[in-house]
Amino acid sequence: MLTDKTFLISTLIGFITMIGAMTFYKYNELQAIKSNIESAIVKGIDPVAVRCAYANEKDVVCVAYGIANHQSTPHAKSR
């Protein structure tokens, strides 16, 4: 009976620690993104471009931004 309670408490502590660590990681990641966007604004860089540098491929805002700001590169002329 005591080992069951010990296992349950240990598992619960591990689960809560994991949630806390993931929350801490995401919070620090968002603070870094915020800092980079603020410095981009000061330097005159488009903040949406900085935000999209951290986004995944499923981010609809960044996909639309990429399509709207797509500039094709000039192709070399063939001889």
Q: What is the pLDDT along the chain (79 residues), one digit of tens a residue?
A: 668 899 999 999 999 999 999 999 999 999 999 999 999 999 999 889 888 888 888 889 988 888 888 776 565 555 5
In a domain, 79, yes or no: no
Token pair listed for 39: 């410095």
This prediction has a pTM of 0.64
Q: What is the distance between the alpha carbons of residues 23 and 57, in angstroms, rounded to a whole number?
A: 23
Look at residue 5 and tell me if it is in a domain.
Answer: no
Q: Decide if 60 is inside a domain.
A: yes
Q: Is residue 57 in a domain?
A: yes
On whether residue 75 sits in a domain, the answer given is no
CA 71 to chain centre: 25
Whether residue 76 lies inside any domain: the answer is no
Range of the domain at 55: 13-68
CA distance 76 to 53: 29
Amino acid at 2: L
Residue 52 domain-assigned (yes or no): yes
Quick check: is 47 in a domain? yes
Q: What angle do CA 54, 59, 63 make, to 5 degrees?
A: 100
Q: How many domains does the chain have?
A: 1
